[in-house]
Structure 1
Amino acid sequence: MDAPAVAVSPVHRVARLLATLLVLLAGLSISLAACRARTAWRAEITKTWARLLLRALGIRVKTTAGDAYFAQSPVSPAAPGALLVANHVSWLDPLVMAATVPSRPLAKREIGEWPLVRTLAAGSGALFIDRERLSALPSAVATVANALRAGDTVVAFPEGTTWCGRGMGEFRPAVFQAAIDAGAEVRPAVLRYREGESTSTRGCYVGDDSLLASLLRVTATRGLVVEVTLFAPVRLTPTGRRHEARATLARIAEAHVRSGAVEASPRRPPAAHRRVPAR
C-alpha cells in the first residue's frame, strides 16, 4: 500500500483515534434513538453523524453537486425515491455517501453480524441482503423496491466488492431491478480518494487487509479528500424482458461511473466533474 504523501504526527494520530472512538460510542446511543425516529429524521441524523466520524478520521468530503440535486419533486410527494449507485473502494464509502445525502445503505448480511456495526447500521436504516443465497435474491430486490416506493434514497455498490481505487469491477444487475419495479431513478456517483492532486490508496480495503490496518493508515494520512461526483439520473421504463432491462440499466450506470473513475489530468478535469444542475 502506498505511503501517505504527508503523514500526521504521532500525537495527531492518537487524537484522531480517540475522537473516532468517541464518535463511535456516541453513535451507539444515537442509533437507538434513530431507530424510533421517522425515516426522514433518521437519514438526517445519520448524515450528521457520518460527517462527524469522517471529520474525526481526518477526511474531507468534496461534492460536485449540492443537496438540491437529491430533493424530491414537490409536485408529487408520493414519488419514488432514488437508487444511488457508486464504485466501491473502501469501507469508508458508505460513510461518505451517508455524509453526502440522507439515504439508506444496502449492506451485506455479514456486516450485520458484527455487534457494534449491527447497532450503527440499524440506526441508519440499513437494508441487509444475502449475496451468497440466490434464493434470497427476489426478497432482497422486493425490500429495496419497497424502500424506493416509500421515497427513500437507497445507496448500493453494485460491484459487490471493493477495488483498489485504480480500477473497477462490473456492476451486478440484480439491484437495478428494484429501481425498475419501483419506477425510481438511478443516480450514478463516483468516489475518488485523493492526496493533493494524486489518487490515494490509503483508504482502500482489499485482499487480506484488516479493518484495523486500514483505520491506522487513514488516521496517519494528512489531507485525505474524498471527491464525490454526481451524474444526471437515468431511468428505464419496465419491459417484458426483466433480465435485459436491468442489465441495460446496469451497463448505462456503470459506463457513467467508469468514465468518472479513470485518472484525470489535474489541469483539465473530465466532463463528469461539471456541476450537475439542481432538479
Structure 2
Amino acid sequence: MNPWLPTAPCTPRTCAGHDGPTRPRPLAAALLCAGCALVLAGALGAPFVLMLGPTRRERLIRRWARGVVRAFGVRVRITGGQAPDNAPRTAPGTLVVANHISWLDIPLVAAVYPGRMLAKREIAAWPVLGPLATAGGTLFVERDRLRALPTTVREIGAALREGSRVIAFPEGTTRCGRGGGRYGPAVFQAAIDADAEIRPVRISYRIRPPRGTGRGGRASGPACCAPAEPQGPAGAAAFVGDDPLTASLWRVVTAAGLTADIRVLPPIRAGDRPDRRALARFAQTAVANDSANRSAESVHH
C-alpha cells in the first residue's frame, strides 16, 4: 500500500455499530431488497437517462438518488443554499466538496448536486455500481500512483471548464466522526486552474427519537466525538476500514430512525485564496465549523 494514501483511525469494531432502536428483521430485509433493486434499476436505466436534456436528467437523478437513500430506510433532510433547480449551470462548473462518512454519502450528495463523481479506480470493476459510475461520467483516480495525479488534476480542470459539476470527498477516505481528516489540495488546484466555484457541503447522520419523546436526535459528523461513545449516531451509517459492504448495508436497514442531514454551505471562489493548500484548509474549516448546524433558510424532507 502506498504510504502517502490517506488513512483514518476509524475501524468497524470501534466506530461502526448501532445501539438504538432497531427494525424487525423482515422489514429490514424488505428495505434491503428495495434499496438494491432501486440501485440496479438506476444501472439499467442509465443509458436512457443520458439521452435526456440536462434539466430533465438532473431532476430525475436527484429523485432517484433520494429514492435510493429512502429505500434503505434513511430519512433525508437538506438545508441551506439555493435549490439546484433555480441555479442554472454555467461555465466554468462547480466543485462540490464534502466530508465522507459512508457509502450513503454518494447518493445523498447526488440528491442535491448531481454531477461527475471523483472515485478510486477500483470502483470501475465493481459489479452493478461500476457500470453505473462509468455511465454517469465518474472521474476515476489511481490513488496508488502519484505520477498519475497531474493527469487527474488536468482531467478535473477540463471537466470544470466545460461547465460540469464535479463531486469530491477531499479527505480521501471515510471517517466516522473522530475529527475530520485533512483535505487533499489536488482537487482545489483543478478548481483554481478552471477558475471554478467551490460548493462545500456538510454531511451528518443522527438518530431520530421515537415520536412523543420531545428530544432531538444526536448528531454526528466531522466534529470530534467523545471517546466514551465511539459508536455514536453515525455508527449505523459509518462505512470505515475493512468493514464489509454487506455488514454496512444490514446495519443501515436495521437502524430505526436514522436520518441523513446534508447542509449546503455558501460558495467559495477559487481565486479568493492564494493557493490550493489555503483553499483546501478554508473549505475544510467551513465544512467542520459548528456554525453549519444553524437553522436553515430552506428545509426539504
Are positions 1:218 and 2:252 aligned together? yes
| 2:134 equivalent in structure 1 | 122
Deviations 1:194-253 (A, max 9, x none): 1021132111111221110000000101111111112111123299xxxx6000100100
Shift of 1:5: 1.6
Higher mean displacement: 217-226 or 17-26: 17-26
Look up the SS of the partner of 1:26 in the other structure: helix
Structure 1 residues 47 and 180: alpha-carbon distance in aligned structure 2, compared to 1, 3 A threshold: same
Are positions 1:258 and 2:292 aligned together? no
Shift of 1:29: 1.5
Find the aligned partners of 1:33 and 1:69 in 2 and give their Cα distance. Answer: 22
| 1:95 equivalent in structure 2 | 107
Structure 1 segment 107-118 matched on structure 2, within 5 A: 107-118=119-130
Find the aligned partners of 2:200 and 2:174 in 1 and give their Cα distance. Answer: 17
Find the aligned partners of 1:25 and 1:225 in 2 and give their Cα distance. Answer: 23
Deviations 1:137-159 (A, max 9, x none): 11111111122122222110000
Are positions 1:58 and 2:73 aligned together? yes
Q: Give the unaligned 5+ runs of structure 2.
A: 1-15, 209-216, 221-232
| 1:137 equivalent in structure 2 | 149
| 1:205 equivalent in structure 2 | 239
Are positions 1:157 and 2:169 aligned together? yes
Find the aligned partners of 1:71 and 1:143 in 2 and give their Cα distance. Answer: 28
Deviations 1:122-174 (A, max 9, x none): 23221111121112111111111122122222110000000013421000000
| 1:264 equivalent in structure 2 | none
> What is the number of residues matched between the two proteins?
261
Report if aligned partners of 1:188, 1:232 keep a CA contact under 8 Å in 2.
Answer: yes
Report if aligned partners of 1:24, 1:53 keep a CA contact under 8 Å in 2.
Answer: yes
Report if aligned partners of 2:202, 2:292 keep a CA contact under 8 Å in 1.
Answer: no
Shift of 1:2: 3.2
Find the aligned partners of 2:183 and 2:169 in 1 and give their Cα distance. Answer: 8
Q: CA RMSD in A?
A: 2.2
Report if aligned partners of 1:43, 1:104 keep a CA contact under 8 Å in 2.
Answer: no
Find the aligned partners of 1:41 and 1:147 in 2 and give their Cα distance. Answer: 20
Look up the SS of the partner of 1:193 in the other structure: strand
Q: Give the unaligned 5+ runs of structure 1.
A: 261-269
TM-score by length of 2: 0.80
Shift of 1:72: 4.0
Shift of 1:4: 4.0
Find the aligned partners of 2:160 and 2:142 in 1 and give their Cα distance. Answer: 19
Are positions 1:68 and 2:83 aligned together? yes
Higher RCO structure (Cα 8 Å, ≥6 apart): 2
TM-score by length of 1: 0.85
Shift of 1:100: 1.7
Report if aligned partners of 1:59, 1:223 keep a CA contact under 8 Å in 2.
Answer: yes
| 2:4 equivalent in structure 1 | none
Shift of 1:178: 0.9
| 2:6 equivalent in structure 1 | none
Look up the SS of the partner of 1:96 in the other structure: helix
Q: Percent identity?
A: 41
Letter paired with 1:195? I
Report if aligned partners of 1:42, 1:123 keep a CA contact under 8 Å in 2.
Answer: no
